[in-house]
Amino acid sequence: MPEEPRPRTEESRVPDPSRAADPASGPDTGPDTESPRPEASAVRSDPVISLRGATASLGGRPVLRGVDLSVHRGEVVALLGANGSGKSTAVRSVVGQVPLSGGELTLFGTPGRRFRDWARIGYVPQRTTAASGVPATVREVVSAGRLARRRLAPPRKADRAAVQRALELVGMADRAKDPVGALSGGQHQRVLIARALAGEPELLIMDEPMAGVDLASQEVLAGTLREQVASGTTVLLVLHELGPLEPLIDRAVVLRDGCVVHDGPPPKAVGQHALPGHDHVHPHAAPDAEPIRTGLLT
């Protein structure tokens, strides 16, 4: 491979014109970075996640049947598939929560079994609706994301600042003192993402971050993710459908019955998702999409 690995923020991001004036979006706002996103094969630098021939079973039923999955530094990879295809199990095995019965896992070049540098990973588990027994404020939950960095030490100024920053990133700073039990599904999801961001991770792993999330929160989440990606964060996320995150996705891996059936550019949207008027901000058809669809069909 003659090409030298380059940090993805330099050349690979498609700058968002709406953020061109935003200093937070990093070095990729210059006019000479307008080059199109390279093919996934061009990003060959050190794999951050590498699963090879991974097999795993849950309750005696094989769920992963030889999955190969690699994510390179700075990439945004979506794991797609129907319910029960094994996509959640795949990410949970990456973070060590489902033991592999075969195959191998490396994280940042270290065998998964020996990996201890968890502060580099921000994990957003699938949101459960089961409320905890004791109330907890938004800030308390987000602060838990900082424990990977400071372990048993008491929080310092930098920790509190990181928590505040994470709350602002997801637009929940004004709800910091509210109990998480009083939040809507989308707001709760934003809190879980803030908790992962509070640790300032290099790699974000998210399990169905858009499930049950209202329109306003979906837009906030897409914006948050765009900023993270612009600053060089690597992302692996499980999605049911690409939705509003589609422009961010470099590569899609589609699972079916525990096997990889597609690994490459995001699959072309079909049906009403492919329509020019469909901007993927809402999973359901917008009222103005209806006339266009009938027009195409006739």
Partner 1 sequence: MLELLTYPFMQRALLAAVLVGITAPAVGIYLVQRRQAIMGDGIGHVALTGVALGFLTGTNPVWTAVVVSALGAVLMELIRWYGKTRGDLALAMLFYGGMAGGVLLINLAPNGSNANLTTYLFGSITTVSRQDVVAISLLAGFVMLITLGLRRQLFAVCQDEEFARVTGLPVRTLNLLLAVTAAVTVTVAMRVVGLLLVSALMVVPVAAAQQATRGFAMTLALAVSIGVVVTLSGTVFSFYKNVPPGASIVVLAIGVFAVITALAAPLAKSRARRAAAAEERCTLRDDVLV
Cα–Cα distances in angstroms (integers) from residue 103 to residues 26, 50, 106, 248, 286, in the given order: 38, 10, 10, 30, 44
Question: Which stretch, 40-48, 60-68, 92-100, 224-232, contacts partner 1 (CB under 8 A)?
Answer: 92-100
Give which of 98, 127, 109 is closest to 50, Cα–Cα: 109
Residue (20 or 182) nearer to partner 1, CB? 182
Residue (43 or 48) nearer to partner 1, CB? 48
Those residues with Cβ within 8 angstroms of residue 211's Cβ, 6 or more apart along the chain or in another chain = 126, 127, 189, 240
List 148, 191, 220, 260, residue binding partner 1 (CB under 8 A): 148
Determine if 296 is a binding residue for partner 1 (CB under 8 A). no
Residue (45 or 272) nearer to partner 1, CB? 272
List 10, 19, 84, 118, residue binding partner 1 (CB under 8 A): 118
C-alpha 191/C-alpha 207 separation (Å) is: 14
Determine if 261 is a binding residue for partner 1 (CB under 8 A). no
Question: Which stretch, 15-23, 76-84, 179-187, 264-272, contacts partner 1 (CB under 8 A)?
Answer: 179-187
Residue (36 or 133) nearer to partner 1, CB? 133
Question: Which stretch, 4-12, 23-31, 61-69, 118-126, contacts partner 1 (CB under 8 A)?
Answer: 118-126
3-state secondary structure of 271: helix
C-alpha 74/C-alpha 58 separation (Å) is: 31
Residue 70, token pair as written in the block: 């690699």
Helix axes 185-198, 157-169, angle to 10 degrees: 140
CB of 287 to partner 1, least distance (A): 5
